[in-house]
Amino acid sequence: MATGTPPSTGTPVGTGTPAGTGPRPTPGAPVAHRVPDLGALELLLAVARLGSLGRAARELGITQPAASSRVRSMERQLGVALVERSPRGSRLTEAGVLVTDWARRIVEAAEAFDAGVHALRARRDSRLRVAASMTIAEYLLPGWLIALRALRPDTAVSLLAGNSAGVAERLLTGEADLGFVEGLDIPQGLDGAVIGHDRLVLVVAPDRPWARRRHPVDAEELAVAPLVLRERGSGTRQVLDAALAAHGGLAEPLLELASTTAVKAAAISGAGPAVLSRLAVREELAARRLVEVPVSGIRLTRDLRAVWPTGQRPAGPARDLLGLTRAES
């Protein structure tokens, strides 16, 4: 009777280094280093279901050599043989059957994870809450939101308009997903990106004395003039305060109003001079309902910024809206 090792009924997928003899991660290594990736586990499940490594490879859209290589890598990683090849196809070893049962639970958990994340994305993408300071809200955002609707017709958008300080507060308390401000810098606790630029102009009604001036109003004269102003906390007020700080600061306001529209209406009525964004008074200047008065000795320009909580990059509809603002800046 012949002696020696009996012939195997099948041939392991791998050749060369036998399964279990290659280097394996130590028990203390991160679990991601000790457990095969999902692609390998899905391949093993396909082999178990189809009884053929070749058919499993075709189903997963990879070549048979790539599938064989992936199984060999998995066997080396786990330290056990998983699949045997024979002329009749591929079959799992006893260890392979056990590993396949465990793999099925992992893949099912991953599918549940993916479904949950998809539901979260769908909920996020179903709405967008925007907070914007008044000039941007009134004169720029409507066009951006029309363009966003063409990209995301199923996203419901709500707009909260206020001053720059209010925008920052809404972002920090989670009441808004993306904000737009007009101040000199980024409010504390927020990150941001410049999306455009703006210039403030001094305007008066056509029948007011400054409308007929032949020379610019200098910084000292502007600083002592009673003006119709936005409230403290607005981007417009912040820029004007900073510009006149070296010239004694602003005089007591003639009127202090909470919206650009109100300031503009007061100036048109002749209440007094006002400093507003040129974006806000383009039509009134063109129609001569207001007159721009040149100013010398100070710089009245500012950046327009998109802002969001520090470390939370815009995603979904917020990211798309941000892209639209940059495309038009």
- pLDDT one digit per residue (tens) for the chain, 329 residues: 444 434 444 445 544 444 554 555 566 678 778 889 999 999 999 999 998 899 999 999 999 999 999 999 999 999 999 998 877 778 899 999 999 999 999 998 888 888 878 777 766 667 899 999 988 999 999 999 999 999 999 898 999 998 888 999 999 999 999 999 987 888 889 999 999 999 999 999 999 999 998 899 999 999 999 999 998 888 889 899 999 999 999 999 999 998 889 999 999 999 999 999 999 999 999 999 999 999 999 999 999 999 999 999 998 899 999 999 976 64
CB atoms within 10 A of CB 288: 10
User: Which sign, positive or negative, has the C-alpha torsion 241, 243, 249, 250?
Assistant: negative
What's the CATH fold of domain 127-328?
D-Maltodextrin-Binding Protein; domain 2 (3.40.190)
Cα distances (angstroms) measured from residue 212 to each of 124, 181, 292: 54, 34, 10
Please state the domain extents for the chain: 30-122, 127-328
Cα distances (angstroms) measured from residue 269 to each of 264, 265, 273, 294: 9, 6, 10, 20
What CATH number does the domain located at 30-122 have?
1.10.10.10
pLDDT (0 to 100) of residue 210: 94
Can you tell me the distance from the alpha carbon of 18 to that of 20, in angstroms, rounded to the nearest whole number? 6
pLDDT (0 to 100) of residue 3: 43
Residue 189's SS3 state is coil
pLDDT (0 to 100) of residue 181: 94
pLDDT (0 to 100) of residue 130: 95
Q: Are 305 and 186 in contact (CB under 8 A)?
A: yes
> pTM of the full predicted structure?
0.63
